[in-house]
Chain A
Amino acid sequence: DQQVKQNSPSLSVQEGRISILNCDYTNSMFDYFLWYKKYPAEGPTFLISISSIKDKNEDGRFTVFLNKSAKHLSLHIVPSQPGDSAVYFCAASAKTGGATNKLIFGTGTLLAVQP
């Protein structure tokens, strides 16, 4: 049962255009969401996050939008750059009352930014 879903395995955009990566989740207990970026042969690196009390968080070229009613979030990258080419993972965590902050990851979307 995939609690965090990234339905697009890949996305190709032109340099300078907007990249929109989508993520859907099923667990209504999730209250914190993150995006990680992963280059080949490296571990994922944290990109941006959003708490469920917000619907938007912006950091430079990266903006994450959260639609709780639709259980959907998206990552916007604008303008896209060739160095943004990587696999992007959506992740979520739930406030379970325990201490574990384990992340539930989606399967990733491979973004290719064409020069």
Chain B
Amino acid sequence: DAGVTQSPTHLIKTRGQHVTLRCSPISGHKSVSWYQQVLGQGPQFIFQYYEKEERGRGNFPDRFSARQFPNYSSELNVNALLLGDSALYLCASSFYGALNTEAFFGQGTRLTVV
């Protein structure tokens, strides 16, 4: 079975640009969460989507947005990129999205803002 897949694996953007990151969850999983991992830190929660609706949002500015599609895949969008947005962006999927459900992580997208 395919795990959580994220694309692209790496990308470089210029300050002020916009970026879209993509995530395909494990087949049958209905919940997708996004995390930002800055170098040397643990991942930080950005969003959770369940059944195509936003279920939770972390402490991130409105420049960050996301959505989930009918096939449960998800996009994370970041506008007006700042140097501080450089990070590994991780997507996690789970079946129920409940607190005691194991989340499976993708390999991440490494975003570098120059």
Is B a genuine binding partner of A?
no
A interface list, Cβ under 8 A from B:
none
